[in-house]
Structure 1
């Protein structure tokens, strides 16, 4: 308790000193309210996804942000701004994560060290050896320590005590790192027994772990990544003697030296403030107005406690810090003890809170929603580089939209509008009643429609009882008395997709969707111009496709046909047995499959291909904020007979995600030809985030590419032979895409790349 109070007092005094310090740089203007909030959002996200405490401690980081927002907004000067941010960081109870003082932000701002640099080896009080590692600035000294550190052994053996000077104030960063390297070479000669140095651990996000989906096929995880510790054996005379390390507030404190302290083999004397931020990984976040926050990224299982702390001093002839070390050197060396590492708790993943009761959150919680959504996409969305809408600027654009939302509906719509910046057919929202009321979420109609020749056309009716009188080929004019085109237009600000054709398809589907059990009335006309009203009911049960015989059948010219939207994995073997003597198979992938690609691919792998697709997902850790974990997915193997006939796949914008992945499998296995129009261009196992109001935002978690590295996302599978159904053909009962495939297989149709969205 006393240490916590003293730490808080020191931080408070540091913030007061911030405004009065003589070392303070030229004053900078206080950023605008909006700019301060944006900086706060970025800092909050760095802590949320990279600070180790958030992976196991029961901290209410949301509440810390909510409390900070009004104070950051109302700050009239830099001191008030700094205090507001610092108070938010206090929730972590981590002295390393804090607002930096001005002098801490200015590397090499002093003309030189506070104490003169000595020779590498010098003697004090006749028998105390001082090793000044600041001398590594001399290449000859560095060469000695790097290549022949054993040359120091005779002097160390003669010494009653050894003082190692690691003070770094006034030195360039490369010199500080050279000192650390030199210490590593020197340290075995200072030891009298084995040194067990613990590893350092950091939070490691491999993709974004789903918050409410109950797991997905993506395998996204959050864990601790712990580096292996090391065992250092003594190389000296084995005699125990006092070893004192001199440090200051610019020192890089090597974990090995800190372990020596913990094991009773060394003492620490610090000049000015020093915490374990000197030994762990940190990052800095610029806040404007000359303010910078330091954020811890790693932790060790050993404490940082100095034996003596002296005030930071300007350069002078008298070196009080060295004198303090000499006083400590007079005491006999303590017997070494096993360094007991602190028992760091294991990672304990907790989903973000949904705040489901906050259908209309307070302004601060609405901003929490914005900040959380922005950071999740910023850190974890794998296709951010493909977005043409400005996600980096979304904080600026959407701050007023979230702030000014006057009720639950406007808040939910602000979230929906924000989601459209993630141009991806996987991007979906659910969980808020206002989204369902407006058709942004809900249950699809019991029939399938497509936009052909500029009109909405019924393609399939899944449940005739739920939509009596509706048939394939009907043109949809109105829904509940309003033009369907008008309804689609109203949804445009709130619906997104990977490319324009799939966006139109999604808009049409959502224009026809609604709550479970709800009813709606369509105004339709047929090929003869006859109009009528059709009443339909929405329900999950009505979306089940009717069973109309086997999902595969023989066509003319010894050609097999497979409806992959209906084929089950249990039927694959029988299907290939039936088609083993055919000249070709047409796989109809105009919809969504049932996980059959993994079973079918071994039958098609005449190329003896090993791999099917390239995967990448974002990695967020201490070392990376935009790193990628990349792997090549292998084609499944099975002891089955190969099918050596020709294969084609029928595709259009209804083919999405697993449908497109099926295409990647078939393409790699035997070079299957694609016929139709481009698929949806949205692939990669989904994940989701949750936002206040019970909103779940689903998005793509993997970047998936063709096995040769070609882009699939926002492009889709591109047909070698482009063909699009027409209204006239549908109303005449034709399947023009299937007809074109049959013509192609007869050898009567040229394959033409269809790589434009028509």
Structure 2
């Protein structure tokens, strides 16, 4: 909020944000071409996601970057580099967002000449009162203005005009902060009528708003306006000329600007002052001793002075600024006017996908890199769990995006970078080269799972689309080549939350392809026979309803519910049929149909209120991503007037349980302490969102950090089974369900339900 002069004090109070790392000396050498692009990307992202103009104005910020990239690369010296960046910023038409001059940087603030400090109260021309707020460096003056500002009232009442000196050149940081602190106590003594100060407006991102998907899950972008302030007069109420003296180091208080806008005060500046002096800003280090200031908020009032005088060249000598103020003080006070300070409303604008650019020009490939990096840097809630430092990914992937020689290499560069995210939700779609390589497109009409190191068929969605395929067969080849070779080819471009789920995703991607395409797998059955099975990929296969009952009775009065089949409309009937069972097996080895919300009220014997803890990144004017600005809430368990089920419940899980599957587990765990049996789930939960890139690419990623209700980590760990068991190849081939068998064995055992960390083998 304050200028560079106040940075050291106000950072602790959250009033100034800065993306700067260690400050560089002004004589630092010109960064390398790659380093300049790295810093340009960071600056571009700060403007894109935090500058208020981009939330409602028609500004082609992509085009500004595309135009700037070659000039930044070609810059041979500091001046050319600064000019290239400034030209990009000029597209905003915002004087508060610009390359800072050397004299505006903090290290030079104490070396600038300043007018001599006067007494707190002094008189000019007998009837003009000068209040020099720089005198607050004296403890007695500071105490007066903090605790007894009314002591100024007698002098103000005698004055025909009042000059308030707020010039900050050469003033120590602490004194400058104190001036800002006490001006609010002085202004009411100068008013002749109520002063309505407008609120300050800034961009507020609550998570990352999806670009192509329905806006849900609370992710939103808005313009947040703080409440305005109504200030009542506390003096004699007499209208008199009031002149504020500022300089290019001063903080232009919104209350002062409002007085000026309403004709209740005049402003004289010593050196030009833009409205960056009145709003929140952040600074971005560019190297070579250059910094850029970026506006983070707006007031809707222009920063206009009644007179602008040159900056002081020396401390001593005639005070021309004060003399100019005395000249204005002799003029009659202007009558206050009524004025509105309305700003245009926010207007959501999704990013351009540039779908026709399957092989984007070089500058647009770099735009893709910059956009992808910034979105994850600012909005990905699990960045702290990544194995590799995301901050360095910009420089690492710059050559890959820069030198991609065709559409395939470009798409693969995007895929490889996305693989750093280590999120089971992360996937790509929208580019034909991704489909050709199985990185997007439709899965096979059957499912593989790694069992004992082999790719085993565990489920067939559409037998007609894969004639001759049987459960328990081991896939060894794909289109005549070893499956292992295909998996290694895909490995750099596929990501997941942990190694087991990564293997599962790789198996799925190895079989994926475009709609209507065919492939041949070489499978070996239980007898050791190898045969070839040709299958067809189609959306129709995926939409085919699953076969079999959603629930049934097992032996020993135990009920079984297949949550991958059960529909919300069937929950009531299911509990009616199974209400007298002594236990339920909830099979969650796959994906559910939104039934957890209907099931949880039946299971909530603990009378639990909450099911999970949610957090999402918040990006705003006062919340730096590095400070982990988060919106946190506890998700309540759904309530319903239904009979409680008092039997025991176990939930079967493995790496096929992801997202809503895992969230169902959180519900049931909180409701009645459901026991998990099997192997860890996928470890990817938290309501997806997506970003878009040139070439029509859409990338999905997790937008919420979701935890167990007691705060335990779920992401990258999954639901952890209290009873660990994996199927075997022989068991699958013989038609056994060894995970279900272990659950039934567990339920027969005596004693209380297992708790987290128990092992029943």
TM-score by length of 1: 0.95
DSSP-derived class of the 1:699 partner: strand
Does structure 1 residue 155 correspond to structure 2 residue 155?
A: yes
1:453-532 matches, within 5 Å, as 453-532=452-531
CA distance in 2, matches of 1:753, 1:143: 59
Does structure 1 residue 422 correspond to structure 2 residue 417?
A: no
CA distance in 1, matches of 2:26, 2:417: 38
Task: Specify whether residues 281 and 639 from structure 1 end up closer, same or farther in structure 2 by C-alpha distance, changes over 3 A only.
Answer: same
Instruction: Output one character per residue of 1:66-113: Cα deviation in whole Å (capped at 9) or x when no partner.
Output: 000000011011000000000000000000000000010035633575
DSSP-derived class of the 1:665 partner: helix
Q: Is the 8 A contact 1:462 1:544 kept in 2?
A: no
* Aligned-pair CA distance for 1:522: 1.1
* Aligned-pair CA distance for 1:660: 0.1
Residue in structure 2 matched with residue 693 of structure 1 by the alignment: 695
Q: Is the 8 A contact 1:663 1:717 kept in 2?
A: yes
Residue in structure 1 matched with residue 15 of structure 2 by the alignment: none
Residue in structure 1 matched with residue 669 of structure 2 by the alignment: 667
Residue in structure 2 matched with residue 444 of structure 1 by the alignment: 443
* Aligned-pair CA distance for 1:748: 6.8
Residue in structure 1 matched with residue 188 of structure 2 by the alignment: 188
Residue in structure 1 matched with residue 308 of structure 2 by the alignment: 309
* Aligned-pair CA distance for 1:151: 0.4
CA distance in 2, matches of 1:485, 1:110: 66
Q: Is the 8 A contact 1:584 1:647 kept in 2?
A: yes
1:107-126 matches, within 5 Å, as 107=107, 109-111=109-111, 113-126=113-126
Q: Is the 8 A contact 1:685 1:701 kept in 2?
A: yes
* Aligned-pair CA distance for 1:486: 1.0
* Aligned-pair CA distance for 1:340: 2.6
Q: Is the 8 A contact 1:107 1:172 kept in 2?
A: no
* Aligned-pair CA distance for 1:477: 1.0
1:66-81 matches, within 5 Å, as 66-81=66-81
Q: Is the 8 A contact 2:723 2:758 kept in 1?
A: no
Q: Is the 8 A contact 1:113 1:168 kept in 2?
A: no
CA distance in 1, matches of 2:76, 2:112: 36
* Aligned-pair CA distance for 1:654: 0.1
DSSP-derived class of the 1:92 partner: coil
Unaligned runs of 5+ in 2: 1-23
* Aligned-pair CA distance for 1:525: 1.2
Does structure 1 residue 639 correspond to structure 2 residue 641?
A: yes
Residue in structure 2 matched with residue 225 of structure 1 by the alignment: 224
CA distance in 1, matches of 2:543, 2:326: 83
Residue in structure 1 matched with residue 347 of structure 2 by the alignment: 348
CA distance in 2, matches of 1:580, 1:321: 86
Task: Specify whether residues 225 and 752 from structure 1 end up closer, same or farther in structure 2 by C-alpha distance, changes over 3 A only.
Answer: closer
CA distance in 1, matches of 2:321, 2:674: 76
Residue in structure 1 matched with residue 259 of structure 2 by the alignment: 260
CA distance in 2, matches of 1:705, 1:601: 18
Q: Is the 8 A contact 1:611 1:668 kept in 2?
A: yes
CA distance in 1, matches of 2:589, 2:75: 57
Residue in structure 1 matched with residue 12 of structure 2 by the alignment: none
Residue in structure 1 matched with residue 580 of structure 2 by the alignment: 581
1:318-717 matches, within 5 Å, as 318-341=318-341, 343-544=342-543, 546-626=545-625, 627-717=629-719
Residue in structure 1 matched with residue 235 of structure 2 by the alignment: 236
* Aligned-pair CA distance for 1:646: 0.2
TM-score by length of 2: 0.95
DSSP-derived class of the 2:110 partner: coil
DSSP-derived class of the 2:250 partner: coil
Task: Specify whether residues 26 and 680 from structure 1 end up closer, same or farther in structure 2 by C-alpha distance, changes over 3 A only.
Answer: closer
Does structure 1 residue 199 correspond to structure 2 residue 204?
A: no
Q: Is the 8 A contact 2:461 2:546 kept in 1?
A: no
Q: Is the 8 A contact 1:356 1:694 kept in 2?
A: yes
Q: Is the 8 A contact 2:25 2:288 kept in 1?
A: no
Residue in structure 2 matched with residue 91 of structure 1 by the alignment: 91
Instruction: Output one character per residue of 1:553-586: Cα deviation in whole Å (capped at 9) or x when no partner.
Output: 0000000000000000000000000011000000
Q: Is the 8 A contact 2:514 2:537 kept in 1?
A: yes
Q: Is the 8 A contact 1:354 1:690 kept in 2?
A: yes
Unaligned runs of 5+ in 1: 1-23
Q: Is the 8 A contact 1:499 1:715 kept in 2?
A: yes
Q: Is the 8 A contact 1:516 1:540 kept in 2?
A: yes
Instruction: Output one character per residue of 1:235-259: Cα deviation in whole Å (capped at 9) or x when no partner.
Output: 1111110000000000011100110
Task: Specify whether residues 485 and 459 from structure 1 end up closer, same or farther in structure 2 by C-alpha distance, changes over 3 A only.
Answer: same
CA distance in 2, matches of 1:368, 1:126: 63
CA distance in 2, matches of 1:112, 1:692: 48
